[in-house]
């Protein structure tokens, strides 16, 4: 059945779009940009900010984001009346806004700032008057919330409730006193917030941002008595370049390693090695559960946002979680044990800094159970955005850097490690190693296409040595909840489940470069960044974790074999049921 099309005119341009398309989307398809502020594609279309209003021939102006395009409609988006209206709206927003733009973390990447410049707002105090004053909520180890900068767009509310199914923030009070708060005005750290940071990437201004750890890292680097080791996650290399004007979807692995070295880190290792190590432990844990009647389905444990979600909202599945630490925590543990012994360095003098696409990793690093030999596995976590700020603070010309390699011993990785950053990547990597371990046969095609892509839930059945293994992949905790509810009702049975806390996986984590809403209308960072990782995977000479020579070396010299006693001491962990809120 062919799709019904409708025809309308926008600013004199004849446009044909499928029925059900909004005027905002129709204009975008015609190359006409209508200003937006509260709109976020597929997440928030509520017409609240009124920035996208258009004229359609009637007396009233209508919000294009919620206005369906109809046959014969004649739309005007750029009249003197509309320009004056939008400029007044911005001046009214500024009247209640904390205008400390020079010191704001979102300066030059703020949608409000850009609109004011584009629409010629010259007087931010045109409607100066009373302003509400709010305490900054910085109790969380991951997320800072500053309502003095909030413009009440509700994009954070929408992503938290509709996408993540968490819903720990929402509007309270009415009129001038409306604010985005947690229930009972509690802090995020007291609520069932999973620290995913999707609210940050949805926010158009600086009302939400990550808890900054750069000062801590700078202090490590300045201390001559410390040996400071850094490790960047797979997804970081697929997005860091965006902070320096490099097109989205470009892998900058070599430049990233060079930049980290120039910042002064003593060793530049790779979390991709930790991902390969995770697969060795996780694949063999799955095999052991299959062969010994263990708890199934086994569920991946790499995503700290998902882990906290499980601990808080689905504690009945805690025994299903793999006991494996996440890759950067595994690597931190072996840096302070295996590497420390090899290099002859006192672990007390080592500081491990992880560069992550994820704000929840900050909370994870502080978990008491994630320590080896009495030391935290990871001492500090900075996001992709924080690393970019450090590079700029150091005056490093990122685009002029040569490509450099990671340091030996814990810097080698396979394609299986790099695709950890995309939804389905952990599943692919684990299935490859599990298949060859069980069958003893070489797997020629390592690409499990059925678990690739950004669909919220993907299912497949994989034949491993004559045994059908039913698997599922979910990305976003909202999709995870749907999947787990189906398992609880007995509607679905699986052997192995991969869950990533963020939509699209780590490539779209809460610590990644922020993509403005207008850009999100024409491209999908989940897809483009994942493509960069899949290309790096395809270009790798080795694509299976168990083929990594440095992985073989660490087992031969130190760990013995996967799931050994020493491996469990260093590389595995436990979980706990968490309350929905704390006093």
To the query of whether residue 282 is one of the catalytic residues in this protein, the response is yes
CB atoms within 10 A of CB 323: 17
504 contact partners, CB below 8 Å, separation of at least 6? 422, 423, 454, 475, 525, 526, 527, 529, 530
What does the alpha-carbon distance between residue 517 and residue 175 come to, in Å, rounded to a whole number? 26
CA 510 centroid distance within chain: 4
Options 16, 369, 557, 569, the catalytic residue: 369
With a CB cutoff of 8 Å and minimum separation 6, the contacts of 85 are 50, 53, 61
Active site residue 576: no
Instruction: Write down the catalytic residue from 210, 243, 329, 364.
Output: 364
Which residues 6+ apart lie within 8 Å of 578 measured at CB? 192, 308, 311, 312, 315
Mark whether 187 is an active-site residue: no
User: Among this protein's residues, is 369 annotated catalytic?
Assistant: yes
> At residue 23, what are phi and psi to the nearest 5 degrees?
-60, -35
Taking residue 471's Cβ as centre, other Cβ atoms within 10 Å add up to 22
Q: 3-state DSSP call for residue 463?
A: strand
142 is catalytic: no
Structure tokens at 315: 């504690």
The verdict on whether 364 is a catalytic residue reads yes
Q: Return the H-helix or E-strand segment holding 435.
A: helix 425-439
Residue 536 among the catalytic residues: no
* Cβ atoms 359, 212 nearer than 8 A: no
CA distance 52 to 64: 6
Element (H, E) at 252: none
Which is the catalytic residue, given 101, 498, 506, 547? 506
Q: Residues 322, 413, 476, 517: which is the catalytic one?
A: 322
d(CA 413, CA 357): 18
Please identify which of the residues 41, 211, 325, 361 carries the catalytic annotation: 361
Distance of CA 371 to the CA centre of its chain: 24
Tokens representing 418 are 């790099």
> How far is residue 535's CA from residue 253's CA, in Å, rounded to a whole number?
12
> For 488, phi and psi rounded to 5 degrees?
-60, -35
The DSSP 8-state label assigned to residue 578 in this structure reads -
The count of other CB atoms within 10 Å of the CB of residue 130 is 8
Output DSSP code: residue 441. S
- Catalytic-residue membership of 361: yes
The token pair that represents 465 in the structure block: 């040595």
Catalytically annotated residues:
282, 285, 302, 322, 361, 364, 369, 506
């Amino acid at each position: 059945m062919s799709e019904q099309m409708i025809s309308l005119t926008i600013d004199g341009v004849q446009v044909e779009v499928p029925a059900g398309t909004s005027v905002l989307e129709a204009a975008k398809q015609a190359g006409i940009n209508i200003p937006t502020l509260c709109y976020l594609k597929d997440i928030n279309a509520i017409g609240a900010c009124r920035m996208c209003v258009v004229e359609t021939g009637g007396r009233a102006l209508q919000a294009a984001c919620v206005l369906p395009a109809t046959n014969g409609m004649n739309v005007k988006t750029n009249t003197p009346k509309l320009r004056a209206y939008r400029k007044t709206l911005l001046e009214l927003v500024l009247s209640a806004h904390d205008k400390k733009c020079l010191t704001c973390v979102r300066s030059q990447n703020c949608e409000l700032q850009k609109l004011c410049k584009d629409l010629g707002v010259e007087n931010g105090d045109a409607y100066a008057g009373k302003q509400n004053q709010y305490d900054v909520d910085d109790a969380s180890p991951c997320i800072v919330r500053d309502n003095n900068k909030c413009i009440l767009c509700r994009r954070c509310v929408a992503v938290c409730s509709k996408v993540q199914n968490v819903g720990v923030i929402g509007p309270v009070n009415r009129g001038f006193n409306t604010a985005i708060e947690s229930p009972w005005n509690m802090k995020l750290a007291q609520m069932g917030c999973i620290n995913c940071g999707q609210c940050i990437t949805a926010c158009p201004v600086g009302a939400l941002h990550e808890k900054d750890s750069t000062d801590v890292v700078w202090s490590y680097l300045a201390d001559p008595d410390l040996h400071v080791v850094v490790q960047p996650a797979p997804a970081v290399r697929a997005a860091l370049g965006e902070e320096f004007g490099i097109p989205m979807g470009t892998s900058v692995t070599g430049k990233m390693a060079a930049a980290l070295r120039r910042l002064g880190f003593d060793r530049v290792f790779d979390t991709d090695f930790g991902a390969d190590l995770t697969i060795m432990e996780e694949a063999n844990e799955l095999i052991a559960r299959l062969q010994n009647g263990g708890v199934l389905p086994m569920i991946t444990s790499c995503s700290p946002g998902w882990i906290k979600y499980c601990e808080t909202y689905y504690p009945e599945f805690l025994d299903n979680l793999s006991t494996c630490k996440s890759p950067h925590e595994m690597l931190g543990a072996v840096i302070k044990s295996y590497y420390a012994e090899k290099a002859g360095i006192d672990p007390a003098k080592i500081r491990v800094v992880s560069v992550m696409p994820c704000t929840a990793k900050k909370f994870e690093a502080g978990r008491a159970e994630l320590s080896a030999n009495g030391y935290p596995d990871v001492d500090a976590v900075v996001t992709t955005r924080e690393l970019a700020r450090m590079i700029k603070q150091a005056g490093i010309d990122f685009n002029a850097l040569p490509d450099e390699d990671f340091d030996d011993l814990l810097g080698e990785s396979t394609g299986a490690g790099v695709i950890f950053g995309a939804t389905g990547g952990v599943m692919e990597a684990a299935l490859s190693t599990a298949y060859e371990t069980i069958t003893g046969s070489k797997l020629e095609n390592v690409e499990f296409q059925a678990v690739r892509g950004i669909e919220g839930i993907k299912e497949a059945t994989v034949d491993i040595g004559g045994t059908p293994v039913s698997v599922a992949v979910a990305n976003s905790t909202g999709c995870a909840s749907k999947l787990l509810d189906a398992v609880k009702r007995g509607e679905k049975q699986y052997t192995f489940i991969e869950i990533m806390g963020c939509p699209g996986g780590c490539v779209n984590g809460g610590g990644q470069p922020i993509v403005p809403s207008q850009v999100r209308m024409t491209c999908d960072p989940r897809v483009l960044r994942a493509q960069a990782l899949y290309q790096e995977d395809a270009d790798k000479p080795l694509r299976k974790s168990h083929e990594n020579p440095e992985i073989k070396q660490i087992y031969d010299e130190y760990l013995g074999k996967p799931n050994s006693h020493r491996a469990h001491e260093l590389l595995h962990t436990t979980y706990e049921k968490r309350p929905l809120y704390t006093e």
